[in-house]
Amino acid sequence: MTGSKQSAPAPAPVSFVVHKQSCRLEVAFDDGAVFLLPFELMRVYSPSAEVSGHGPGQEVLQTGKRNVEMAALDPVGNYAVKPTFSDGHVSGIFTWAYLYKLGRDQEAMWEDYLQRLDAAGHGREAGRDLPMTSKTAGGHGCA
- 101-124 confidence digits (pLDDT tens): 999 999 999 999 999 999 999 877
* pLDDT confidence tier of residue 55, bands split at 50, 70 and 90: confident
pLDDT at residue 89 greater than cutoff 80: yes
Lowest mean pLDDT: which of 6-15, 61-70, 93-102?
6-15
| Choice between 74 and 134, residue whose per-residue pLDDT is larger | 74
Which string of b and e fits 13-47 if b means at least 16 CB within 10 Å? beeeeeeeeebbbebebeeeeebbbbbbbbbbbbb
- Percent of the chain topping pLDDT 70: 82
Q: Of 108, 24, 140, whose CA–CA distance to 116 is shortest? A: 108
